[in-house]
Structure 1
Amino acid sequence: MACQQVTVARIYLHESEHLLSKLMKFLHDEEMVAGVTVLRGMTGFGRDGKIHTASLVDLSLDLPLVVEFYDEPDRVETVIRELLRRMDLSHVVTWSGVRHLKEE
């Protein structure tokens, strides 16, 4: 099995920030990163301490979102630098990983 070094980036947002479509367009259309996943949280809080939660009775429109993407380390660094320049992102986390590639 072949392996490739990658960097994974995770961006934390709230739905009310209305950044998801702009962020996805940038990652997909402009930067063409290797892969992206968006997770919608059931509950969460950030620096402000305000808890955002969903229940069957009250479906909030301000739930936490996690946008996670990966690519080669140099590309991720460049993408994050450009994202921070263009958008008001306050929570971005990265870590190194290994992408396992199936041999054909």
Structure 2
Amino acid sequence: MDATAVSDHVGTASAIKMRRSIMIKGLEALVESYPNARHYGVEDHMLPTLAETFPNIDWESLGAYLFSRVARHGKRRAEEMAEAARTVAETGIPPTMAEAIAAKQQWMNAPAAA
């Protein structure tokens, strides 16, 4: 483990980790678009448009990777996002995305979703 001090203030490292988690878990929650695109038969059209918008990302590989992470860690991630939502709310900002991410992570890890 390569630990680096980020601040003399207690909680700074946790704040960094939680804000980063909202971004990462948000990306994971967005993978709902993949099975939806497949359902509607538009996956082969959707992925190239994503590649046009973000040309440095391999969207097919990223989708597979994110799905595997949610399948492996979804329950813990949903709990982490619920906590992140509480800390966002403490700032006075509505935790709309963090709450939605927590719900999506929970749904994607539920036995019926598997």
Larger RCO: 1 or 2 (CA < 8 Å, sep 6+): 1
Name the structure with the higher strand share.
Answer: 1
**TM tier, shorter chain?**
under 0.3
Higher helix share: 2
TM-score by length of 1: 0.27
What TM-score does the superposition give when structure 2 sets the normalisation length?
Answer: 0.25
- Structure showing greater Rg: 2
